[in-house]
Amino acid sequence: MGTKICKARKVYIMKILNEKRASSLLIILLLVAGLTLVGCSSESEEIEPTATVEVEPTATIEETAVSPTQPPADGVPAPDGIVNVVWEWETLNERDPENSRAYIVTEVPDPTKYTLIMRPDSTFSGTADCNQISGTYTTENGYAFTLGLSTMVACGADSMDQQYINLLNNVMTGGPNVDIFALEAGGGSDRMEFRNGGAAPAQ
C-alpha cells in the first residue's frame, strides 16, 4: 500500500508541474526530500534483539554422609588368648594374717556362677552368682576393672557375689599363669584364679 501512495504523490506532483509550469529545481528537491521523509519504502525497520546473557547456575553442594566418630577405647585390651573367653572363678587365695608367706585357699562352690568375659574393645561382662555384671577394663600398667551397669540382687547368705564384685573393683594386676588366669587385688594379698570355661558367645 505504501508503494501505491508514493506513486499517487508522484503523479500529483507531475500534474502540478505540467499545469503550472512554474516549478523550480528547488521545489522539486524539496518535494523529493518530503517524499523521502514520508517513507516510500515498504521495508520496515527491524529492531535488533537485546543481547542474551547466559547465567551459570549456582554450584550444587553435595551432601556428604558423616559417619559418627567411634569413641576411643577406655583402656588397653587384653591380649589374644585372654579376650573372648569365659573365665570361671575357681579359687580365692587370701594371705594368712599370721603368716605373710602363706595363703588361705577358698574354693568357689560353683565356678560357673562367677564368670568374667573380657572383650577386645576393653569392655567386660560376666556373672556374680545371681547378678549380671558389666563395665570396662584396661591392662595398662596392670589390670583394672571399672564396674558399670550391673544388677544388685541379694543372692543369699552363702553367696560370694559381693566379695567377687569387691575384689574385681580392687584388682591391680593379673595375667595368664600356665592353664589358669589370675587377678590380684589389695597389693597381692588377695589372688583370684580362673579356669577356662570355653569360648565366649558372640556379641
Q: What is the pLDDT of residues 14-44, one digit of tens each?
A: 554 455 444 455 555 555 445 444 444 444 4
* 57 has pLDDT over 70: no
- Number of independent structural domains in the chain: 2
pLDDT at 19: 52
Q: Are residues 117 and 33 in the same domain?
A: no
Q: Are residues 33 and 129 in the same domain?
A: no
Q: Are residues 89 and 30 in the same domain?
A: no
pLDDT at 28: 54
Q: Which domain holds residue 113?
A: 85-198
List % helix, strand, coil for the chain (3-state, nearest 5): 25, 35, 45
Whether 43 maps to a domain, the answer reads no
Q: How confident is the model at residue 58 (pLDDT cuts 50, 70, 90)?
A: very low
Mean pLDDT of 31-58: 45
78 or 42, which is more confident: 78
Q: Are residues 110 and 186 in the same domain?
A: yes
pLDDT at 15: 55
* 114 has pLDDT over 80: yes
pLDDT at 45: 45
Contacts (Cβ under 8 Å, ≥6 apart) of 133: 124, 125, 126, 127, 147, 150, 151, 165, 168
C-alpha to C-alpha distance for 165 and 133, rounded to whole angstroms: 8
Whether 76 maps to a domain, the answer reads no
Paired with 182 in beta bridges are 175, 193
Whether 56 maps to a domain, the answer reads no
What is the share, in percent, of the chain residues with pLDDT greater than 70?
Answer: 64
Q: Are residues 170 and 97 in the same domain?
A: yes
